[in-house]
Chains A and B, each alone.
Chain A
Amino acid sequence: MKVRVHVSLKPGVLDPQGRAIHHSLEGLGFAGVNDVRAGRLFELDVANTVTDAALDDMCRKLLANMVIENYRIEKVAA
């Protein structure tokens, strides 16, 4: 089973990297970009026996830092 885990900074957590990317986009002449937040994407290939609870646990224990980040689990059709 392929699983994508999207990790993003919580609202309100300063994202200097996102800001720098935003600034760079403006420098390239792209207008109308209101904000950029940088995140992270993990692609996992896991056995079909791995439960949703285990995936959740993986995110909470390692893939995301729950102090500053949120995560979203997306199952991808194989």
Chain B
Amino acid sequence: MAFTSAVITFPGSNCDRDMAVALETVSGTAPHRVWHGDTALPEGLDFIAVPGGFSYGDYLRCGAIASRSPIMQAVIAAAHRGVPVLGVCNGFQVLTESGLLPGALLRNAGLNFVCREVALKVENAQSLFTCAYEAGQVIRVPVAHHDGNYFADEATLDRLEGEGRVAFRYAEPVNGSARSIAGLLNDAGNVLGMMPHPERAIENTHGGTDGRGLFESAIRGLVDA
């Protein structure tokens, strides 16, 4: 059964091609490419990826304008129907701005743009996006962001932790993120937002393959279903 996926591109997205290559490399099927101004998604999607970049030039707030774009209304509706949605980096910001994930991503506490490989701890290895990893496993994945400092009020953070919705945590200081949250699931578990870039860690020639597990998890989930 072919894995049917889509990658959304906004003006200013710059990780959409890497995301498409990652999805095709791991699944064997090239994803549909969907433009921000489209109002409908292709039929029968198994997976939607909202990629990184600087959508709409990061105007207003990172991800704010993209989250109000025509295609995002279709992505939000698909997410509510249970279609898996992955948002990476700017894609994570788009998902918080759209209300699919709680909280917000603030300017990095150190004010610097952080661009390097970081250690991530897999907190929840039972989700659709992480089941190919082991709980507690430490993986190395690149980050490249200026606004990755996750914020939510204490009560929300406690609830997220209690519900096992922290998928990944930074295993080293990166951006001042609350509770070191690097990746977060929605309450139904079909939406994941994360600042690190798994799509940039799928080939040894590009520094490692620790990001493959995320795509393998999603594909395995589909095959088992």
Contact = CB atoms under 8 A, between A and B. Distances in A.
A18 B23 CA distance: 40
A69 B106 CA distance: 11
Interface of A is mostly: helix
Contacts, number: 36
Contacts of B60: 62-63
A54 interface: no
Interface of B is mostly: loop
Contacts of A39: none
Nearest to B154: A12
| B interface bracket (residues with beta carbon within 8 Å of A) | 10 to 19
A63 B107 CA distance: 17
Contacts of A13: 106, 151
A20 B149 CA distance: 16
A16 B103 contact: no
Interface stretch (B3-11, B108-116, B188-196, B201-209): B108-116
Interface of B: 60-61, 64, 68, 96-97, 102-104, 106-111, 149, 151-152, 176
